Amino acid sequence: MNILFVVLGAVVFFVIMWLVYTYNRMVTLRMRAREAISDIDVQLKRRFDLIPNLMETVKGYMQHERQVLENVTEARAKVASAGGDPIGRAGQENMLSNTLKTLFAVSENYPDLKANVNFLELQRELSDTENKVQASRRFYNTTVRDLNTKLETFPTNMVAGWFHFTPEKFFEVENEAEKSVPKVKF
């Protein structure tokens, strides 16, 4: 009888320890997902802050390329007014990235601008920031995948249900044009 209570107590102890471990693991994954989305926000803010400096550097060289400058300014304003999390603003953020690419493409027509130290440094900073945004998005999606997998696999899905854990949304490309394969013609 004594041994039965010891075995039963050990089983209950291990079940409780497993529940605590599983709960803590899901909380950790949820926090990593929130941290990752925050990292995306930080990088997007950094890019947002660099754009006015880039625009001021470029304005002097590109007086007759006003439409390109207006497009970048308009895209930046749309991002500023979008609010919400980076996933919700994905369309506006992608439009801003595309207008910056256009700006850099047009800058090829201005050798003095391309040689300007300020422009080169800002271009490098924006490129570095874009790379960090992509890395942050990949990290977020990896973390969301791990969390969502835990939420759907047995037996952790039972613990997730008891504590009301919900799946996170992946960061995805919303614009169908960006998903299509580009056509290259020579």
CATH number reported for the structural domain that contains residue 63 in this entry:
1.20.1440.20
Residue 58 lies in a domain: yes
Residue 40 lies in a domain: yes
Amino acid, single-letter form, for residue 21: Y
Closest CA to 34 of 148, 178, 143: 143
Residue 179 lies in a domain: no
- Pull the structure tokens for residue 143: 């973390």
Q: Which single residue is written with the structure tokens 């007014």?
A: 81
List, in order, residues 6 or more apart from 49 with CB less than 8 Å away: none
For residue 26, the enclosing domain spans 2-166
Model pLDDT for residues 123-140, shown as the tens digit of each residue: 788 888 888 888 888 899
As a whole-number percent, the residues of the chain with pLDDT over 90 amount to: 26
Tally of domains in the chain: 1
Chain centroid offset of residue 21 CA: 29
SS3 168: coil
Model pLDDT for residues 157-182, shown as the tens digit of each residue: 999 999 999 999 887 766 555 445 44
Question: What are phi and psi for residue 175, nearest 5 degrees?
Answer: -85, 120
In the DSSP assignment, the letter for residue 83 is: -
Give pLDDT, residue 66. Answer: 64
Choice between 114 and 31, residue whose per-residue pLDDT is larger: 31
- Classify 153 in phi/psi space as left (phi over 0), alpha (psi -120 to 50) or beta: beta
Residue 184 lies in a domain: no
Residue 8 lies in a domain: yes
- Classify 165 in phi/psi space as left (phi over 0), alpha (psi -120 to 50) or beta: beta
In the DSSP assignment, the letter for residue 172 is: -
Rounded Cα distance between 21 and 18, Å, is 5
Residue 23 lies in a domain: yes
- Pull the structure tokens for residue 156: 């952790």
